Structure 1
Amino acid sequence: MTDKIEKLFKFISNNRKYNKALQEKYYRSIILPYKNEKEKIISLLYHIANTQSQPKIDKLSEFYRSIITEDNSLKSFQEFIEKINPNGKSNFESVYKGMLNQKGWGPKTSALISKSIFHLHNGKYSENLKIWNDVPKLIDENDSFYLPVDAVIIAIFKKLDNSIKWDFNKINKTLETKYKGQQIEVWDDLWFWGFITQNGSGDNRAFEWNENKYWVLKESDKDKMKIEEIKNKCQEFLEIFN
């Protein structure tokens, strides 16, 4: 399994531009319609929370009321940390742990918020997507960064070794034995390749190019040549599991 994990990491490291282009469009739709910092971070929070298959509406409602109605402007990353994780350090682990303590938020969505804030401020996306000016551009070696694990990623790890009971914690702990900080962020691309190469649900997923899934990604490039290019890349991805 270790050999295949290394091959997966090499593949996603060498093909980052595909998911990067999709993510850029996704973030633009979330951030650019809004003018101030508070509106932008609230928009991001709503979009991330809505990625849950069964969102806890009542609990999320309490969270939104607290963050929207309280007299704070959230004009800085530090202010946001103080809101969700009082006395927490100004880093990405504080975001993850702070969000995990909020009503209606779980490990995956908390990790997604941490990852998204990093993406928007790491200098690799459009400058006008930044919300604040005090977000670290790099993930410090003493910071902790978490892969947003969902059913797609769990299915991939089951494909690698179905004798292990994979979940959010098990997958992150497995990756952390070799990969740290910035490298964990690279692993986030695994979802893109996994999503468009899985057919079915639960334990009955077939691993194959799934063009229908590619088309339902609103931000995916619909150019015929680009689709063919990504299809060929997916074959490379799938060969790793053989």
Structure 2
Amino acid sequence: MSEPGSAVTGPIADIKGILFDKDGTLFDYHASWAPVNAGAAMTATRGDPELAETLLVAGGLDPASGRYASGSLLAAAHTGEIAEAWARIMQMPADQVPDLIERLDRTFQELGPIHATPVGDLRALMTGLRDRGLILGVATSDSEEGARRMLTDAGCGADLVAYIAGYDSGHGGKPNPGMVHGFTAATGLPADSVMVVGDNLHDIRMGRAAGCRLAIGVLTGTSSRNDLAAEADAVLNSILDLPALMDS
């Protein structure tokens, strides 16, 4: 295998499946999720704009740039983790956290498809990869329902994406390997024939923990090239560069 962050050659021939992260990978993170996160914070605070701003900053927002930090709560965590962190800030009783999780998931599921900004023509890309004989899946810290809605709206239904797992699908969250194990169980592929692609070190570490052949970083999320290159096998500008990588 190549050195982290460099071009990949030999292992590509062994890849039979690709497991994508969703937000920051298939969809541009900041274009898609800045307005969704803002809506979620207003939902959490029941319309208090000052407290909502406090929650967003705690979640990783830089108010000056409007961007989220790599590895921050809103860049990498799932709804349960977000709700628990925000509940502590709001001094919310523990027995109210399940309701907050439900309200946040509902907000994410409603606003996510509205603001979803694919990094390119996802259907064309996925079709091309599928036609190479690759089995495709998605593993996200969003809910499974939220992922299905966004992918369907982008033209990536079950004919292209064989597996979708969210934080609530029973496989656990990232960077643990459960979502990859679910993918290999559903498809019959061995982990060492799978490539994981994501914008965050949570994705890279998930792939490593599961024994995947390759873990590839992309720059359409919250992480810089330097953030990812330390642990990824290669870093691409976006998933639109995958066909060229597969041909390398």
Assess same fold via TM > 0.5: no
Which of the two has greater helix per residue?
A: 1
Which of the two has greater strand per residue?
A: 2
TM-score using structure 2 length: 0.28
TM-score using structure 1 length: 0.28
